[in-house]
Structure 1
Amino acid sequence: MAEKQTLVHAYDENAIRSLDWREHIRLRPGMYIGKLGDGSSMDDGIYILLKEIIDNAVDEYLMGFGKRIEVKITDHAATVRDYGRGIPLGKLVDAVSKINTGAKYDNRVFQKTVGLNGIGTKAVNALSTRFHIKSFRDGQAAEAIFEKGVLVSHTPSMPTQEPNGTWVYFTPDPDIFRHFRFIPEFIETQIKNYCFLNAGLQIVLNGQIFTSKNGLLDLLEAKINEEEQRYPIIHIKKEDIEIAITHGNHYGEEYYSFVNGQYTTQGGTHLSAFREAFVKTIRDFYKKDYDAADIRASICAAISIRVQEPVFESQTKTKLGSTYLYEGGPTIKNFISEVLSQELDNYLHKNPATADALKKRIEQSERERKELSGIKKLANERAKKANLHNRKLRDCRIHLNDEDKNDPEFQAKKLETTLFITEGDSASGSITKSRNVETQAVFSLRGKPLNCYGLTKKIVYENEEFNLLQHALNIEEGLDGLRYHRVVIATDADVDGMHIRLLMLTFFLQFFPDLVRAGHLYILETPLFRVRNKQQTIYCYSEEEKRQAIQKLGGKPEITRFKGLGEISPEEFGYFIGENMRLQPVIIGKDTQIHKLLDYYMGKNTSARQDFIIENLRYEKDVVEEAISAEAVA
């Protein structure tokens, strides 16, 4: 009997491949910008690309050059103009196309800046179909144009009337960022954060001017309305640190943490130190051993620190790993603890009304926690038993809170983890069969969930469905243990589906608003129509797309109207939740007051809602006539 042959590739010099800088970035983009995405999430790659360019402009401002930055955004392109010193003309091409080339390795030039390793701009260059950069210095300019990182045009020097600074235009590569578009609300938040962290800096976004005089105080005022604040915002500002604190009436804890002007969405050593130091300072001030959860319940706080040569856990700089403020200096933990123990303690002594309001908020949280403790214990025991055979949850293998393996690809997969919340067995069945079992999970609702507006958090434990969902997400104690990066409401595009969507939005906004504020909640867009002939199939998400598809295919194509998710076969569904998935992020606007919003839509039958319905009521005759008119135009 012949021996089984095993194919073994030769491991010799020919097996070793060396990639140039652009090839490596394009082959492994996750190592440089985290997850790719389509722009529906605030930490998708296209926003990281924009951030890398703006970071350089902000670093110039921090060094004392250029107080104005101009940003222009379209759906698929971005332009950034700063008025700093400009990149040295002779090194313009090297600065944006050679790894480990830059000024930020020299602490004499850039100290405590955002950019560290000279990779950011190169990543933008390599991952853009077109990257166009100009530098202006003392009446001379240099210009370079790249396509996917390849230099196609270079003008080393020419006279100019432009003031000093740098101009960059780029278009992310659609082959890498599938179906992407820039969402203005995410960019506006990004721009505001830069201004809050750099008082006096002016950023112009598509003609709108943003600036801040009071730093993090302005940030908290923008995040939490004055009428919801339990006491005036406490604002502490010292060398290398700025802190703003207040408490509201919301559930959960809300934090905004920054290092060297970088928004660390995943926190890190500085945020952990702040949370711990805040509890200790409060206990010492009131001389009472309050539970940490009661002290931090409903807190809204922002902290910004400056660290020399900070260490982040990835190139995207979303989580700080540094232990020390600077080489040979204090630990970040001791530094923050000392600032709070002195400054916060002094503030509370000088402002007894604020101290009294804070104490009342803590003791209110304590009472609420004790009231919940009995039912919470029973509910958690039920949930543990249910989790062993939880028919509602079809889980995935990778989770957001999995222990980090120092592996950029694994970290990128964690950011793809998604929980689909579906209605009924038929819809959940289609998604379950077509999902990616590594990163996509499904939670099936029994039917229409309870309208929880105006109810206390006690209902989350009393209602089995809500309690199981809370445990599936692992958000009972806050977002630190969140198991999925994206929570997607996937309901039918009919009246019942829209109602279920509203009920689920009410649940999250009422009890877990921090999940929404952090950009984790989405609505799944699914096609309303399938238009096809023998050669081609087009899925349409609106009447307008349907008309365009009919016109494109010509003749009399077959048109199918999907009434519910259960009608879409698993084979088709895989197309809508894979690379081509369309997600609509749930965004809380700057002026949104959640209580008033929920009261209007989900409260008792208010006169304001009745008036709105009457004023906007459309008769079937009007709708039919509009449709006929539109078809005639098409």
Structure 2
Amino acid sequence: MTEETKYTEDNIRSLDWKEHIRMRPGMYIGKLGDGSTADDGIYILLKEVLDNSIDEFVMGSGKTIEVSVQNQKVIVRDYGRGIPLGKVVDVVSKMNTGGKYDTRAFKKSVGLNGVGTKAVNALSSSFRVESTRDGKSKSVDFEQGNLVNEEILDETSRRRGTKVTFIPDEAIFKNFKYRNEYIEKMLKNYVYLNPGLTIMFNGEKFYSENGLKDLLGDSITKDDQLYPIIHLRGNDIEVALTHSKSQYSEEYHSFVNGQNTSQGGTHLLAFREALVKTIREYYGKNYEAADIRKSVVAAISIKVMEPIFESQTKTKLGSTDMGGDLPTVRTYINDFLKTQLDNFLHKNQETAEKLHRKILQAERERKELSGIRKLAKDRAKKSSLHNKKLRDCRIHLGDSKKERYLESTLFITEGDSASGSITKSRDVNTQAVFSLKGKPLNSYGLSKKIVYENEEFNLLQAALNIEESIADLRYNNIVIATDADVDGMHIRLLLITFFLQFFPELIKENHLYILQTPLFRVRNKKETIYCYSETERKQAVTKLTGKAEITRFKGLGEISPDEFKHFIGEDIRLDPVMLDKEMSIEELLSFYMGKNTPDRQEFIIDNLKVELDLIEESSL
């Protein structure tokens, strides 16, 4: 018998809890990443620890949570009840151990399965928990999930509660960096969903009095609200909604038990359906669902007994029941909107009239566009058969039951040579490529009609599957991959303008990025270093003793597929495109691609946070 075909008891082994987490981290925290995207693992680690502190607040213990993130060290301190001292080690190192199995204590909790803090512990190079209660304190220290120290204080004047300190393990999260923008958004969601809770983050205070109404107020400016935000509350449900004057597509923020379900699920489907049904019944007209929901900006939060999510990262609700004696999620949401929204519209005639006019306007626009839309769809169907623009991948964002769905990425490239290099070196499972002919159209100030008339934009919209809303978005990451020169920068601006003009929620929801590619290759006979800036080039030359060969990459097409795979693999560097919270989209666009040319570049760099030195890059 050959070595390959032996199969004995020696081939069978059981991993202990920490080994399994470290070997298969994706099963517990989604993808790894380096912190450049909002769903990277380092933010899930923070969220798992925070969820426990939030649950304490929900149970009536501790109104303040303190969060500190300095470089790679994270500290979360709450003033809740504190972990029972005899169970501190078990709670953070024994699978299927936790207080949330006792539904008397945690009826509608966020973290449910006793896995969260164990995953953080196993994936951290150092992990420390301090619990204080009844005048006593216990602290435990772990390294990569291994217990290294345990201390008990029989007397302490510390306030009760729990303090967790951890550093993600660089062996697993390579070259990672926490971005405050992502953390701030996460913390804002926590306070919107828990009015009365104060979170201090690096000294800055986050607090909300009006829940989801405050969330929408931060998402859409007053000037862009068609009517004042409708805010409805009930047992286990909260809804806020308005319509945008300028935005074309639908935008939703959905939550279950305080968890941001960025991929929606049964509750969001039920809400969209109930909204249409209630409005049709109120006006007594069978309006098209798309006309009613066009430009809607809404948030919904529900609380469910023992919810079932479609993954450990809890981004999509799978439950169909509210739990206990309550009806299905669909019936519950439908009954709530039918009563509450209908009552609101009867009592607020001015809002009802504005909403009615908006629906009629959407109906007119849809009919005007119907002919050109049909032509565009026919063209897209034909193109999809022989579309050389899109080279698709196998796993998409909607495949939430597949382990790598969060890695689904569409690279938008310029020209055949660049798209050829990426196509040959990409991961065909999770990376797709869309190739532009040249500079795309400047869409500033143009109507949605142009998206259908312009073949390139129409095919891009079809590839992303975002015509009606981003609920069916096919790729989690949309990455603009252009040359690091003035032309490449201009193409970036034109593409960002397109997304800002027609699909701003893609940027709001952190789906749009710019690919960093190296400017230099520095090598000797033993080692090759790729450098992304002049500073890195100088460091590489110093590091490589002897005479180093330096190559300056002028365009993506110059980088061979064998080299390109290093830049779009696990060491990929992405810069998120973020909206400045002080600026409205209309103001950004008018400076961005309007006639105010002298101020434009300076304004973009100040206000559109593409975390990249565009000036340095374009002048090199």
Which interval holds the TM-score relative to the shorter structure?
A: over 0.9
How far 1:311 sits from its partner (Å)? 1.2
Matched, 1:85 2:81: yes
- Judge which range, 196-205 or 533-542, deviates more: 533-542
How far 1:426 sits from its partner (Å)? 1.1
Question: SS of the residue aligned with 1:87?
Answer: coil
RMSD: 1.9
- Show the counterpart of 1:415: 406
Q: Verify the 8 A CA contact 1:257 1:267 in the aligned structure 2.
A: yes
How far 1:438 sits from its partner (Å)? 1.6
Could you tell me which amino acid in structure 1 is paired with residue 19 of structure 2? E
How far 1:420 sits from its partner (Å)? 0.8
Matched, 1:521 2:512: yes
Per-residue CA deviation, residues 80-134 of structure 1 (Å, 9 max, x unaligned), is 0000011111111011000111111111111111111111000000011111111
Please point out which of 410, 417, 423 is paired with 1:426.
417
Matched, 1:166 2:162: yes
Please point out which of 310, 313, 333 is paired with 1:313.
310
Q: Verify the 8 A CA contact 1:531 1:539 in the aligned structure 2.
A: yes
Cα distance in 2, alignment partners of residues 14 and 567 from structure 1: 50
Matched, 1:257 2:254: yes
Question: SS of the residue aligned with 1:159?
Answer: coil
Alignment of 1:259-274 (within 5 A): 259-274=256-271
Per-residue CA deviation, residues 404-448 of structure 1 (Å, 9 max, x unaligned), is 5x5xxxx23221111111111111111111111121111111111
- Show the counterpart of 1:367: 364
How far 1:74 sits from its partner (Å)? 2.4
Could you tell me which amino acid in structure 2 is paired with residue 109 of structure 1? A
Q: Verify the 8 A CA contact 1:270 1:320 in the aligned structure 2.
A: yes
Matched, 1:530 2:521: yes
- Show the counterpart of 2:389: 392
Per-residue CA deviation, residues 202-233 of structure 1 (Å, 9 max, x unaligned), is 00000000000111111100000000000000
- Show the counterpart of 1:60: 56
How far 1:506 sits from its partner (Å)? 0.7
Could you tell me which amino acid in structure 2 is paired with residue 319 of structure 1? K
Could you tell me which amino acid in structure 2 is paired with residue 339 of structure 1? F
Alignment of 1:120-159 (within 5 A): 120-159=116-155
Matched, 1:299 2:296: yes
Please point out which of 267, 276, 279 is paired with 2:276.
279
Per-residue CA deviation, residues 438-481 of structure 1 (Å, 9 max, x unaligned), is 21111111111110010011111111111111112122222233
Q: Verify the 8 A CA contact 2:251 2:297 in the aligned structure 1.
A: yes
- Show the counterpart of 1:199: 195
- Show the counterpart of 1:508: 499
How far 1:551 sits from its partner (Å)? 2.2
Aligned in 2, Cα 1:281/1:125: closer, same or farther, shift over 3 Å? same
Question: SS of the residue aligned with 2:114?
Answer: coil
TM value normalised by structure 2? 0.95
Cα distance in 1, alignment partners of residues 595 and 295 from structure 2: 26
Q: Verify the 8 A CA contact 1:251 1:513 in the aligned structure 2.
A: no
Please point out which of 490, 501, 506 is paired with 1:499.
490
Matched, 1:543 2:534: yes
- Judge which range, 530-539 or 188-197, deviates more: 530-539
Per-residue CA deviation, residues 562-594 of structure 1 (Å, 9 max, x unaligned), is 111111111111100001100011122322311
- Judge which range, 382-391 or 197-206, deviates more: 382-391
Q: Verify the 8 A CA contact 2:591 2:603 in the aligned structure 1.
A: no
TM value normalised by structure 1? 0.93
Please point out which of 214, 225, 232 is paired with 1:229.
225
Report % sequence identity: 65
Aligned in 2, Cα 1:584/1:216: closer, same or farther, shift over 3 Å? same
Q: Verify the 8 A CA contact 1:89 1:157 in the aligned structure 2.
A: no
Question: SS of the residue aligned with 1:70?
Answer: strand
Q: Verify the 8 A CA contact 1:38 1:179 in the aligned structure 2.
A: yes
Q: Verify the 8 A CA contact 2:251 2:469 in the aligned structure 1.
A: no
Q: Verify the 8 A CA contact 1:90 1:156 in the aligned structure 2.
A: no
How far 1:236 sits from its partner (Å)? 0.4
Matched, 1:435 2:411: no
Question: SS of the residue aligned with 1:155?
Answer: strand
Cα distance in 2, alignment partners of residues 78 and 311 from structure 1: 29
- Judge which range, 268-277 or 175-184, deviates more: 175-184
Question: SS of the residue aligned with 1:187?
Answer: helix
Cα distance in 2, alignment partners of residues 246 and 396 from structure 1: 36
- Judge which range, 200-209 or 429-438, deviates more: 429-438
How far 1:16 sits from its partner (Å)? 2.5
Cα distance in 1, alignment partners of residues 545 and 156 from structure 2: 53
How far 1:261 sits from its partner (Å)? 0.7
Could you tell me which amino acid in structure 2 is paired with residue 70 of structure 1? E
Cα distance in 1, alignment partners of residues 102 and 495 from structure 2: 52
Could you tell me which amino acid in structure 2 is paired with residue 171 of structure 1? I
- Show the counterpart of 1:561: 552
Q: Verify the 8 A CA contact 2:391 2:433 in the aligned structure 1.
A: yes
Q: Verify the 8 A CA contact 1:37 1:45 in the aligned structure 2.
A: yes
Q: Provide the aligned length of Structure 1 versus Structure 2.
A: 606
- Show the counterpart of 2:107: 111
- Show the counterpart of 2:92: 96
Aligned in 2, Cα 1:310/1:579: closer, same or farther, shift over 3 Å? same
Matched, 1:42 2:38: yes
Q: Verify the 8 A CA contact 2:68 2:201 in the aligned structure 1.
A: yes
Q: Verify the 8 A CA contact 1:195 1:212 in the aligned structure 2.
A: yes
How far 1:253 sits from its partner (Å)? 0.8
Aligned in 2, Cα 1:610/1:442: closer, same or farther, shift over 3 Å? closer
Matched, 1:16 2:12: yes
Please point out which of 317, 329, 333 is paired with 1:332.
329
